[in-house]
Amino acid sequence: MSQPDNGQRSPQRQPDNQQLTTSPPMHIVRHHPTDHEREYLAWYKRLHHPGLSFDPASLVQAARAQWAHWPQLALAFMRCTRSWPESELYTHFLSPTERKNRWKFAANIPLAHPTLGTLLVDIIHDAAVPGGYSIGGIEHLDRVLGRHMPVEEFHALMQWSREENAKREARR
């Protein structure tokens, strides 16, 4: 018995002895990123990473105790509330985008920390902040050297290096 055509099609029941034809199952296409794409994504994530929460209290305390003649550096450490670890050896306190615009190197100064060991602090000129300095980052000197290096030993090494450079320049 056929039904009248009123512009709508009604589903028709297939006889039990016929199989319904269906489209083949869809396959999920997985894209395996190329080395270039992986490198770009890693770069993008590093560039736009918001940083990790950081408590500078122990660094501020150490700076106040050891650098009393540079109070602006303790203030600079107080602003270090986000960190961008580069590796186990170095931690940045400026985001990747800030580093491009604000990195104006001033000095490296060693700082003895009770739990982190001897740190080499990157001080940068920063006219936009009180005191005129920011902390660019810290290098974990004891980890770099694989042994503890007291601040006094670091100063002696730097003095020796300056003297050797002066001798070399005098011979020219």
The tens digit of pLDDT for each residue in 99-109 reads 888 889 999 99
Residue 15: Cβ-neighbour burial (10 angstroms; 0-12, 13-18, 19+): exposed
Tens-digit pLDDT profile for residues 72-94: 999 999 999 999 999 999 999 99
Count of C-beta atoms within a 10 Å radius of residue 66: 17
CA distances (Å), origin 87, targets 36, 84, 98, 145: 22, 9, 19, 15
Count of C-beta atoms within a 10 Å radius of residue 142: 17
The token pair that represents 153 in the structure block? 């030993």
More confident of the two residues 33 and 147: 147
Tens-digit pLDDT profile for residues 120-162: 999 999 998 989 999 999 999 999 999 999 999 999 999 999 9
Which residues, listed in sequence order, are joined to residue 105 by a DSSP beta bridge?
Answer: 124
Q: What is the pTM of this model?
A: 0.70
The token pair that represents 120 in the structure block? 């080499």
pLDDT at 12 over 80: no
**Nearest to residue 157, comparing CAs of 111, 122, 110, 90?**
110
Domain spans, the chain: 52-171
Cα separation, 122 vs 45, whole angstroms: 24
